[in-house]
Structure 1
Amino acid sequence: MAIFIPEKIGAKGAKAIHIKRTLSALDDAHVVRTPFARQQWLPDFFIQHAKNGWLAIAVSDTPFSAIPQAQLFSHDQPTPFEELLQRFHAFSCATAQPGETPLKKLILMWKCNTQQVQHISTRYAHKYGVTFISRDAFHQGGAQLISRILAPVSTRQTAMLLGSCFPEAEIAPASTTHRLFRRDNSASLGRYFLDYDQEWAAKLDLQQPEDVTDAGKDFSLRLVNGVAGSGKTLIALSRALLLAELHPDQQVLVLIHNAPIVADVQARLLQTRSALPANVTITTFFAWARQQWTRLYQRQPDCASAQEAERLIARLRQQWPALTQPDAILLEELDFINENLIAELPAYLQASRTGRGFALREKERTAVWALYEAVTRTLARPPRRAMLWSAMPRDICMAADHAAMQRADHVLIDEAQFFAPAWFQAVRHGMRQQGSLFLCADPNQGFMKSRLSWKSVGLEVAGRTKKLRRSYRTTQAILTAANQILQQHSTSDSDDFLQPDLTGMEPGQPPVLVQCDSVQDCIEKLINEMQAAHRDHALSLADMLVVYGSRVSAYALYEQLGRHFGGETVWWFNKSETRRQPPAGYGRAYLRMANVDTATGLEAGVVFLVGVEELVSAAALADAQARDHSAAIEARARKLYMAMTRAGQSLVLLTCERVAPEIARAFAATAPLPQASTPQT
C-alpha cells in the first residue's frame, strides 16, 4: 500500500475515504503527499515515486453545467474552473527549467461523469497539458492511470517541489552532521529533507479530530522509537514548528532531557531562522517543572544539590545500621521513591524494583523509608523549606489543585527514555484535556527509568508506535561497534533492543583507541589530534565535540582547550555561565565540550571521548562483575553506546587505563580523520 504523508489526506468526509481507498491500491514505492494550506495555490495531492517520478493531482468540484460551453475565455472574467486550469498550468511551468520534463498533471472531476470528462478533455487537455478523469473512472482504474502517467523529473525539480510545497520537511544544513563530509566538490551540495518515515512520523495527528467519537478522547499519544542518529530530534522540532504554524492560537511545548541539547538546538535553530514562533517553547523538563511548581506553591523551589543530599544521608543513616549501601546509592533510592510517586511504606514494600541493580529485603526497605522521611523532613524545615530535586515533579503531581498550572496544547518530549513516571504525570497535569503528547525515545540508551513499561505510567502506546531503524548521523563502523558493546553487556529482554538497519550506510572507519600514559597525556594528545584535524583536514571547531568523564578535571580540560583554541571559542555546556547560550553569542563556530552524563542528543562529525575510564577500563568492569552488579554493567554499556553514537564520521577514545578486552575489540588502534569536502570557516 502507498505511504500517505500525512496519514490523513486533505479532503474531507466521504470524498477523503473514496480518494484514499483508490490511492491505497498503489504499492509502497509510492508516496501520496498532501501539502498544507499556505498562501500560494498548490495542487491537492502529489504522487511521488523514487524511480517513476512525480504527478500533481487537483480535485475539482465544478459540475459540468458550470463549465463554459462557448469559446474559451470569451467572457470577461474566468470562471473558477478556468482559474484552476490557469493556476495549475502556471504551477507546472514554474517547476521546470529549459530542458527539463514538465510536471505531469491530473484533475479529478468529482461531479462529472465519464462522458462529460471526455468533452472537457477535448477542449482543455492539450492547451493546458493536463489529464482529466471522472470520479467513477478514478475509482475503477485510478491507480493504473497514475502509474502510466507518472514521469521522472530532475533532482533539482524534486528538491524544488519538496522545498516549495513541503518546506516543513526540509532540514537546514546546520542541523545535520553528515553535511560536513559529503564527497562532492560541486558548487551546491544539494538540499536535505526528512526521509519518508521521518516525515510520516512528524505529521501524525496534526489536525484536531472532526469525528465526535475521536474528539471525546482525553488526549492523543504517539511514540517514535529510533536508533541513535535516526532523526528523532529533527522529527520533534519539525513537528513542533508545523504545529505552531497550523495552530497559531495554541501553545506548543518541547521538553528535552538536559540543558546542553536545549542550548545546542537553540543555536542551530537560530542559524536558520531569526526567532522561534511565539507559541513554541523549548526547554528542559526541570526548567519547566520549576516554573509550574512556582505557580502552584507561590514561591521559588529550593532544591538540595546531590552533594548536600549525600552529606545529609551520611549523617542521618547512622540510625539505621541495616543500610550498607553507599550514600550515592541511597540517594538514588530516595529519588526512586519520589519518581514513582510512592506515598506510603506499604506501597514501597510492594513496589517493583526491577532494574535497580541491588536487592532490598523488607527490613532494609523499611529502613530506607524511614531514611526517606527523615531526609524529606529535615530539608523541609523552615526557614529554608528545601527538598530533593526528584521531589519537585512529585509535588506537582501531589498538589491538591492544578488549576494554577500553565497549560500546553501540544507537548513533545525528546529522549523520553530518560523520563520518570512522576515526570510524565506532571506533564499530563500541564496539558489541555484534548491536547497531544508526542514522544521520541531510543530504548538502546536506557528505557524508562528502572525498566518500567510505558503502560505502567499510564501511556498506552500499543498501535501508536513508529520504529526508526536507519541512522543518518553515524557510520556503519561506529554504529556496529557501539551495538556490539551494548549487546555484549546487556541482560535486558531482547525486545527492548532496537536493531538498526545498516543497509546503505556509509561504511566509515572503526572508532579509534588511543592509549596514553596519564590523564595529562590524554589531554595533550587530544589537543594535538584536534589541531591536526583543524589544520590539516579543514575541519572547523564546530565539527568537533569533546565528551569527558569523571577521570579528567573538567576545569583543567577547559582551560587547556581555551589556551590553544581561544577562550571564547570553547562552549562548555556544563559551565554555569554557558549552560544555556554560547560564550560569545550565536552565529559563531564553537568547539563544544560536554560531560558524558549530559551529552545525550548532541552530535558532531568528530567526537573525542576522554576521562571515561569508568565506562571502559578493565578494572572498573572487573570490579562490577565481582560485585555481581549486572545492572550497573548494563548501565555503563548504555552510556558508552550513547557517547559513541554522538559521532558522525570519526570517534576517538583516549584513555590512560587498560581497556576491557571486550570493549577494546570494537576499536582500532589508529586511523586518519576524515577530510571535509570544502574548507570550513
Structure 2
Amino acid sequence: MHPKVAISSDFFSSVLKLPKAQQEKAVKFMELFRQDPTSPGINYESIQAARDKNLRSVRIDQAYRAIVLAPERGDVYILLWADKHDDAYEWACNKVLKINPENGVLQVLESQYIDEAEQLRQADRQAQAGLFVDIRDRHLIRLGVPEELLPLVRQIQMPADVDALKIKLPDEAYEALAMIADGVSLEEVLSVYDVSLQHEPAQIDTNDFASALDNPDSKRLFLLASDDEALQAMLDAPLEKWRVFLHPLQRKLVFRDWNGPVRVLGGAGTGKTVVAMHRAKWLAEQTLQDRDTRILFTTFTKNLAVDIEQNLKHICAPEVLRKIEVINLDAWVKRFMDKQGYPIKFTFFNDQKKRQIWDNALVLKPDEPDLSESFFHEEWEKVIQPQNVNSLEDYFKARRVGRGIQLNRALRKAVWPVFENYRLGLNDAGLKEAEDAYRDTLSLIQTKSIKLPYTSILVDEAQDFGQNAFKLIRQMVNERQNDLFIVGDAHQRIYGSKVVLGQCGIKIIGRSYKLRINYRTTEQIRLAAVAILEGIAFDDLDNGIDKQIGYRSLMSGELPLVQCFGNSQEEAQFILESLHALSPDDQAKACISVRRHVDIDRYKSVLTDAGFPFYQVDQNTLDDYHHPGVRLATMHRVKGLEFDTMYVAGVNDGVLPLTILNSDDPTIIREHEQRERSLLYVAITRAKRFCSISGFGTLSIFIRS
C-alpha cells in the first residue's frame, strides 16, 4: 500500500522565508517526498533532543533541513517545516504533534506551553473557578483544547484574559474559547465545529495518524499530497492559503447540499467571498449534469466581478471554470434585455442627461409645502423606487417610515406630478435607473415564462443590493436544492440600502450562518476599524440585527499609525519616505487609498514628480501583481482587495464624511454618515500587516471621535 503523505500549511510559509536557491531545492525535495517518501534518496535522521520522537530531519542541502513527522506505525509521512539546520532542529524540539482524543483532529502543540500547563497542574492552581468553570474538561477537549493544556484554560478568570491563550492553543481551540468569552452561546459554538455534548464520539485511536489526516477539521492545517490540484494551487501562490486551507465552518458551508437559500454573514476579512468561490467550484464539479446548465456568480460592481473571475482561475480547472458565469448584476440585466430586444441605457452612464430630466420635473414642484430639491431626490430613492410606485394610487398606499417630513393624502397629491414627470422624462430619453431595469427584467421573465440556464446563483456583496435586485435574483433560478448562496456584511454597505430577504421571496430560516474569524488583518487593525462603527446598529439582511460578537483576528501586529499633518505636502512626503523604506516587492504590496478622484490625481502627480513607480487600480483594471510600484486606488475601488501595507490618506474633515449632501432630513443625513463610516472601515480593513491613517489640517470626525 502506498504511504499516506501530507504537507502542512506551515511548511509552505517556512519555504517562502528561505533564500531563492533553497526555495527551489525545497520545492524539488517536496516533489520527491510526495511521490515516494520511502525513496532511498531521502535519509531520515532522528532528532535526539525532540520531545516528539516521531519527528525526523531530512536534508534539503548541505545547510538546510526539513522536518517530517514519520510515525513508526501507519505508513504516514507529514512534511512540517524547512529552515537552516540549527533553526529547523530548534523548531522541532519545541513541537509535539498529538491527535485530540475527543475529536480526532491532528494538532501541533508547543512544548513550552505544555511545560507551563504542567507547572500549573502540579501547583494545583487550576482548581480555582474560572471563566469556563461551567464547561467540563471533556467538552473543552471536544472543542479542540488539548488535554495537556487544560490548566492554561482553567486559570482564565476574565474575557480579556483569553487573548493570552492565542499563541498557546491550536487555532480551533482559541477560536471556540474566544467566541464563548465574547458572548456567543455555547450552542452556536458547538454548531460551528459540529460538536455534540449529548452523544459520545466514536472511540479515537490517538496513534492513527492516517485517520486523523482524513478528519475534515485537520484539513485546515494539512494538505494531502495526493490532491494534485490543491497542491499546484499552493505552489503557484504559497501565501494564498485561502485557495486550499479552509476553516471547519467554511468547509461545512461549501461541501454539501442545501435544501434552499443560504445566507452567510461575516465581518471584513472573514473569507465570505472565498467561501462563495469554493462553493461555486464545488457546485460546478458536483451538481451540474446537463451541458446546457450553468452556475451564476454575481456581485454588485463590475470590478468586483472581474476580481472574482480572476481568483476563480486560481482554484478551478478550465473545464470547471467554463461552467461558472461571473458577471455583475447590472451587466447581466443589460445583456439579457438587449438579447430580448429591449436595449437599456443606464442613467449612471448619463449623469448630465439625468440631471436635466430632474430639472425639468422639478419645475412642477408645488409652492406649498415648500420642499427642497433634495427632498424629491430622496423621496424617489427611498420610497418611490423601492416600493415600485408607478401611480398616484400607489403613492397614497406607500410606506414612508423613517422619512423626516410627514405627507398626508393632499400633500402626496401635490408633489406627485414631479415624480410622474421625471419618469416620463426618463422614458422619453430611453434611460433606465437600475431599479427600473431590475423590475422590467423581472416582469419580462415572468410574462414570457423565460427559463434561464442557472441551477444555482451565488451573490457576493449582498448588502449593496436592493429589494428589486433580490426579487429578480429569486426569479432567475427555480426554488430547488442549492438554488441561492448569499454572502454579505451590512457593516460594509457603501452603495445600497437596507434589504429584507424574506420580503423578496428568499427564505433563509435555518440556513443562516456567521463567519467570525478575520484571516486578513491583525487584531490591532481590526479593532481600529471596528471603532469607526461603534454605536451603530447594522442589519442582518433579513430584518434582524447583525452584531459583531465574537469577531476576532488570529494575528497580532503594530497599532495603526494615525497622524495629522499641517498640509497635503507634508502628508505626501511622509508616505513617500515610508514607501522608500520598503523593498520593491513590498512596494507592490502597498496601496495608497483616498476618498476622492481629485486626490487620486494629486497623488499621481506627487509620485510622478518623485519618480516613484505606481500602478492605478480603477474600475477598469485589475491589480496586476506583475506591475511594479505602489498601488493607487479610491476607497470604493479597494473593496474586495487586500494589501500588506495600506496608506489611508486624506482622511480630512469635509472629505469623510464627504460634504456633498444637501439634505435637512435627519434620516438621510444619518444614512449618509453611516455609509461614509463603512467606507473608511472598508479601506482600513484592506490592510494585512500595517495601516497608516492620515490627513492634514483637521482630521475627520470619524478619527477624532
* TM-score bracket for the superposition, by shorter chain length: 0.5 to 0.7
Asked if 2 retains the 8 angstrom alpha-carbon contact of 1:489 and 1:637, the reply is: no
TM-score, reference length from structure 1: 0.63
Letter of the structure 1 residue corresponding to residue 634 of structure 2? N
Paired residue secondary structure (2:592): strand
- Gap change, CA 1:621 and 1:426, over 3 Å in 2: closer
Partner of 2:337: 293
Partner of 1:256: 299
Matches within 5 A, 1:544-563: 544-550=590-596, 552-558=598-604, 560-561=606-607
1:199 counterpart = 2:251: yes
Partner of 1:5: none
Distance 1:293 1:455 in 2: 27
Paired residue secondary structure (1:570): strand
Letter of the structure 2 residue corresponding to residue 265 of structure 1? I
- Gap change, CA 1:306 and 1:95, over 3 Å in 2: farther
| Aligned partner of 2:532 among 478, 481, 485 | 485
1:427 counterpart = 2:442: no
Distance 1:169 1:329 in 2: 57
Partner of 1:498: 547
How big is the shift at 1:361?
A: 2.2
How big is the shift at 1:194?
A: 0.8
Distance 2:582 2:518 in 1: 24
Partner of 2:515: 468
Asked if 2 retains the 8 angstrom alpha-carbon contact of 1:223 and 1:461, the reply is: yes
How big is the shift at 1:517?
A: 3.5
Distance 1:412 1:427 in 2: 10
Partner of 2:430: 385
Asked if 2 retains the 8 angstrom alpha-carbon contact of 1:169 and 1:238, the reply is: no
Asked if 1 retains the 8 angstrom alpha-carbon contact of 2:344 and 2:430, the reply is: no
Letter of the structure 2 residue corresponding to residue 266 of structure 1? E
Asked if 1 retains the 8 angstrom alpha-carbon contact of 2:296 and 2:458, the reply is: yes
Paired residue secondary structure (1:501): coil
Partner of 1:663: 703
Partner of 1:145: 203
Paired residue secondary structure (2:550): coil
Asked if 1 retains the 8 angstrom alpha-carbon contact of 2:648 and 2:693, the reply is: yes
Distance 1:464 1:329 in 2: 39
Residue ranges of structure 2 left out of the alignment (5+ in a row):
1-51, 53-73, 81-91, 101-198
Asked if 1 retains the 8 angstrom alpha-carbon contact of 2:230 and 2:244, the reply is: no
Distance 2:377 2:232 in 1: 45
Distance 2:575 2:270 in 1: 28
Distance 2:325 2:262 in 1: 20
How big is the shift at 1:549?
A: 1.1
Partner of 1:116: none
Cα displacement string for residues 141-161 of structure 1 (whole angstroms, at most 9, x for unaligned residues): 994433566448999996664
| Aligned partner of 1:311 among 339, 342, 356 | 356
- Gap change, CA 1:302 and 1:197, over 3 Å in 2: closer
Distance 1:453 1:412 in 2: 17
Asked if 1 retains the 8 angstrom alpha-carbon contact of 2:294 and 2:324, the reply is: yes
- State the identity %: 20
Partner of 2:153: none
How big is the shift at 1:415?
A: 0.9
Asked if 2 retains the 8 angstrom alpha-carbon contact of 1:614 and 1:620, the reply is: no
Distance 2:369 2:235 in 1: 54
Cα displacement string for residues 209-268 of structure 1 (whole angstroms, at most 9, x for unaligned residues): xxxxx7xxxxx2001011111000000001111111113433111111222222333344
Paired residue secondary structure (2:321): coil
How big is the shift at 1:365?
A: 4.7
Asked if 2 retains the 8 angstrom alpha-carbon contact of 1:339 and 1:423, the reply is: no
How big is the shift at 1:197?
A: 0.9
Distance 2:406 2:676 in 1: 22
Paired residue secondary structure (1:510): coil
Distance 2:278 2:609 in 1: 38
The answer to which of 469-478 and 319-328 deviates more is: 319-328
Partner of 1:266: 309
The answer to which of 653-662 and 436-445 deviates more is: 653-662
1:347 counterpart = 2:394: yes
How big is the shift at 1:453?
A: 2.4
Asked if 1 retains the 8 angstrom alpha-carbon contact of 2:653 and 2:701, the reply is: no
Letter of the structure 2 residue corresponding to residue 609 of structure 1? V
Distance 2:535 2:400 in 1: 23
Paired residue secondary structure (2:555): coil
Letter of the structure 2 residue corresponding to residue 455 of structure 1? G
Paired residue secondary structure (1:424): helix
1:513 counterpart = 2:558: no
Distance 1:332 1:601 in 2: 29
Paired residue secondary structure (1:462): coil
Partner of 1:243: 283
- Gap change, CA 1:467 and 1:318, over 3 Å in 2: same
Paired residue secondary structure (2:636): helix
Distance 2:519 2:479 in 1: 36
The answer to which of 167-176 and 480-489 deviates more is: 167-176
Partner of 1:571: 616
Paired residue secondary structure (2:363): helix
How big is the shift at 1:530?
A: 2.8
- Gap change, CA 1:533 and 1:312, over 3 Å in 2: farther
Distance 1:171 1:352 in 2: 51
Matches within 5 A, 1:133-282: 143-146=201-204, 150-151=208-209, 161-162=223-224, 164=226, 179=239, 193-205=245-257, 220-248=260-288, 249=290, 250-270=293-313, 275=318, 277-282=321-326
Letter of the structure 2 residue corresponding to residue 233 of structure 1? T
Distance 2:97 2:554 in 1: 31
Paired residue secondary structure (2:586): coil
- Gap change, CA 1:622 and 1:235, over 3 Å in 2: closer
Distance 2:628 2:449 in 1: 44
- Gap change, CA 1:377 and 1:174, over 3 Å in 2: farther
| Aligned partner of 2:487 among 419, 440, 451 | 440
Cα displacement string for residues 96-124 of structure 1 (whole angstroms, at most 9, x for unaligned residues): 689999999xxxxxxxxxxxxxxxxxxxx
Distance 1:642 1:602 in 2: 10
Partner of 1:63: none
Cα displacement string for residues 447-491 of structure 1 (whole angstroms, at most 9, x for unaligned residues): 994434222222222211011111111111121122222123558
Paired residue secondary structure (1:508): coil
Aligned Cα RMSD in Å?
A: 4.5
The answer to which of 443-452 and 637-646 deviates more is: 443-452
1:396 counterpart = 2:436: no
Asked if 2 retains the 8 angstrom alpha-carbon contact of 1:513 and 1:664, the reply is: no
Distance 1:608 1:379 in 2: 41
- Gap change, CA 1:205 and 1:344, over 3 Å in 2: farther
The alignment of Structure 1 onto Structure 2 pairs a total of residues equal to 505
Distance 2:530 2:582 in 1: 27
Letter of the structure 2 residue corresponding to residue 458 of structure 1? G
- Gap change, CA 1:431 and 1:570, over 3 Å in 2: same
Q: Which has the higher contact order (CA 8 A, sep 6+)?
A: 1
The answer to which of 517-526 and 648-657 deviates more is: 517-526
- Gap change, CA 1:590 and 1:274, over 3 Å in 2: farther
